[in-house]
Amino acid sequence: MDDLRTTLATFSPDDHKEFRQFIQRQRRKQKGRMDLRLYELLAQAREHTTPELLACLYPHEPNAVAYYALRKRLLRHLLDFLLLRQHQQDPTAAASVRGLLTLAQYLFEAGIERLAWGTLRKAEKQARTNEQYELLNAVYNLQIARAHSAHADPLDDIIRRRNLNKKDAEEEERANIADSLIRQRLRQARVKGRAAESFDEILQQVLREYDLQEAFARRPTLLLRLISITRAAMLVRRDYVSFAPFVIRCYHLMEKRHGFAPAHREAQLGLLLMIAHALYRTRRFAESVEYLQQLRALLEAGPRLLRAAMWPRYTFLLAANYAFLRRNPDSIGLLEAILRLRLTPREELTTRLGLGFHYFAEGQFQKANQVLQAIGCSDHFCEQEMGVEWVINRNMGEMLIQFELGNSDLAYNRLRAIERLVKERFGADGGGYAAVLCYLQLVGDIIDDPAAARAPAFADRMLQIPAFVPLEQEDLQALSFYSWLGSRVQARPYYTVLLELATAPDPAPLPA
């Protein structure tokens, strides 16, 4: 794959327009510039081979040496363009500090030391205000190197400030390492499914190893790290009920005591997203939407790059909430719109599975089938990207869709495939997925005889399905599968049964 073309493919239409203008501004006198011509070829929807590119650029005599030199020039333009855009859109003023550092170095080399030191002090103030500890360390190192100047601050004072900053920088580095380790362990747990792993022990071990137990109370960025680590443990235990008030309390305490400066915008958005997600998981859908509205206001007021990065996750969660607030058509509209954007593989998989669920709830089974079939990725790929539980949910959704479409044979084949996956991975009894095997037995009976669901014995068997966790803590996707059985037992619309069960103040087993 052409890496340069892959990078250009991430551009929006506006980005392409701006980059084309950027190239043209480099040398206005040259018409028909070769680097612009190469860019136009790489930006086309169809990927060209190297021989094809050579033939287009040098029709009379293909010149491979000139072609690779041209690629290097286009790459330099691309890097300059991205650096300039980052400087313009940087939400934390990091680019501004880097620019001041560069200017100070130039002024020192030019012998203008008074102005150079003034620039360094300005860089120090901006870096400290915006908590750019790594850049602040670079500022102090340059100040120490130029401490012999008559315009310099006292060296002892510079060293003292540098040492204080070093402590904050090292705390942040340790938090980054701990966060990455916890996320790695979480990914491993997801691939294994609902494994009985002592995640609390791993969490405490990592925090002790990196001396982080008391380091999170002072800064929103470190608070976000702590909440992220705590949330990782919650995801394994599915303890949404206790996590929601914890993260809400932490957010409002930080907001009251210290507030959120522009430098903390990304941390604030991350905390709001976690609050909204925790409220959704605990069935407090209207409250979740309220926090999402706060998040959207910050996104729209903030930098474009940050908005583009977080917009898909905001949309997924808003659509999920709307489905349980009787606004399922709005959910479909949101996900159809987001699917037209350029998404990462994980974002696209999340979008398609969610959209399939919303179509299914509306009884649009053909559309639900089409959107899941369009995933086009193997189960192995999806398992590595999303985890085994996501793969099981997808296959179970496809099974129910095929049954609703009248394709009983396809539904039964899918059922057997899920059974094999669960037994091969977790043992003959299903291990932590024993409930899935029980569920599949009941679905198999309905596939064989749809009228079987109306028998009193069937309802009794359904109530005996072992729960993964207490019903009020169960994943809403799993709840949707239970609701489908309930709709068959009660001969009522699936979506109606799901809403009743998900919004009940005191969830109880599915009634007959």
- Quote the pLDDT of residue 471: 46
Q: Which residues contact 290 (CB under 8 A, 6 or more apart)?
A: none
Give pLDDT tens digits along the chain (512 positions): 577 887 887 787 778 888 888 888 776 545 457 888 888 888 887 888 888 888 888 888 888 888 888 898 888 888 888 877 766 666 556 777 888 888 899 899 888 999 999 999 999 998 888 778 888 999 999 999 999 998 999 999 999 999 999 888 887 788 778 777 776 776 666 555 554 344 555 566 666 676 665 555 556 777 777 777 667 666 666 667 777 887 888 788 778 777 787 777 888 898 899 899 989 988 899 999 999 999 999 988 877 767 888 899 999 999 999 999 999 999 999 999 999 888 888 899 999 999 999 999 999 999 999 999 998 888 888 888 888 888 999 999 999 999 999 999 999 999 999 999 999 888 888 887 888 899 999 999 999 999 998 888 898 888 887 654 444 445 677 788 889 998 999 999 999 999 988 887 544 444 43
Domain ranges of the chain: 3-89, 94-153
Gap between the Cα atoms of 131 and 129, Å rounded: 6
* Six-digit token string for 324: 């349980």
Half-sphere exposure of 218 (CA within 13 A, CB side): 8
Q: What residues contact 10, with CB distance under 8 A and at least 6 apart?
A: 342
The predicted structure's pLDDT at residue 223: 74
Percent of the chain that is helix, strand, coil (3-state, to 5): 75, 0, 25
Predicted TM-score of the model (pTM)? 0.67
Residue 14 vs residues 18, 32, 82, 448: alpha-carbon distances, Å: 6, 22, 14, 55
Q: What is the pLDDT of residue 510?
A: 44
DSSP output for 240-254: HHHHHHHHHHHHHHH
Give Cα 482 to chain centroid, integer Å: 28
DSSP state of 510: P
Comparing CA positions, the residue from 368, 418, 371, 403 lying closest to residue 485 is 403
Task: Supply the pLDDT for residue 470.
Answer: 46
HSE-up (13 A, CA, CB side) for residue 113: 12
Structure-token pair, residue 448: 């064989």
42 is written with which tokens?
A: 């790489």
The per-residue b/e assignment along 348-372, b for 16 or more CB within 10 angstroms, e otherwise, is bbbbbbbbbbbbbbbeebebbbebb
Question: How is residue 264 annotated by DSSP?
Answer: G
Q: What is the pLDDT of residue 435?
A: 86
pLDDT at position 195, please?
46
Q: What is the DSSP string of 145-180?
A: HTTTSTTPPPHHHHHHHHHHHHHHHHHHHHHHHHHH
